[in-house]
Structure 1
């Protein structure tokens, strides 16, 4: 895992987002054991208490659960994982659309750009300038 912590938001939130992305993307599979707090904290370069807070919040949300004798595990509730994945996607789409609107694009222009770029055209436009 490569952690990129920025100073613009609380660290524990960034840790939660990163771990959530790993769960919904399948990098951490349902039922997988999560590495210990100290190991994750050292890897991310953060205080173990901050990592503990992020993991505890993910437990409250239901994405992780603790087995007192063997550690934390990713939920096996695939519907919950799918629901979280869909919410993240919807949030990112809303951000993208808002940003494109600020650039002056309307819905049809955005759709045309998406089609162009998903077909592989225009990917190097910025590099060719």
Structure 2
């Protein structure tokens, strides 16, 4: 369900929290959907359960997730207007900035970068 990269330089809990935010914003996770348990995610990705718990707790404080005693974490009710296209795109802004910076450092021309991105989008 999640893709976590320990070598990315971004803390695992932030990677997980951002992926869940995007999945909720994009409608892949809807109100009432249950998330995998802390233990299951930790075992699947070979990380400390406290790391997963930290991400879930952060999202609970933000109102994205809700905890119900004896049940898995669930996606909380979201504001209906909270996920227009521009707001969903804003979730990608940090990654786009990193991509542009890396392309500039590697001296990759804009046309080549855009064509590579188009190809990748077509593949997926």
- Which TM-score tier does this pair reach, normalised by the shorter chain? 0.5 to 0.7
Which structure is larger by alpha-carbon Rg, 1 or 2? 1
Aligned to 2:92: 89
Aligned to 1:127: none
Conservation of the 8 A alpha-carbon contact between 1:34 and 1:73: yes
- Size of the alignment, in residue pairs? 117
Q: Which runs of 5+ in 1 are unaligned?
A: 124-129
CA RMSD of aligned residues (A): 3.2
Aligned to 1:64: 65
Q: How does 1:109-128 map to 2 (within 5 A)?
A: 110=110, 114=114, 118=118
CA distance in 2, matches of 1:70, 1:56: 15
Aligned to 2:101: 98
Aligned to 1:30: 31
Conservation of the 8 A alpha-carbon contact between 2:34 and 2:74: yes
Q: How does 1:44-59 map to 2 (within 5 A)?
A: 44-59=45-60
Conservation of the 8 A alpha-carbon contact between 1:63 and 1:81: no
Query: Residue deviations 1:96-118, cap 9 Å, x none?
Result: 3333444557xxx7368636863
Query: Residue deviations 1:57-97, cap 9 Å, x none?
Result: 11112221112242311133154455763322222333333
Report SS of the residue matched to 1:38: helix
**Residue 43 to residue 104, structure 1, CA distance change in 2 (3 Å):** closer
CA distance in 1, matches of 2:87, 2:32: 16
In the TM superposition, residue 56 of structure 1 has moved relative to its aligned partner by 0.3
Conservation of the 8 A alpha-carbon contact between 2:103 and 2:113: no
In the TM superposition, residue 52 of structure 1 has moved relative to its aligned partner by 0.8
Q: Which runs of 5+ in 2 are unaligned?
A: none
Aligned to 1:4: 4
Structure 1-normalised TM-score?
0.64
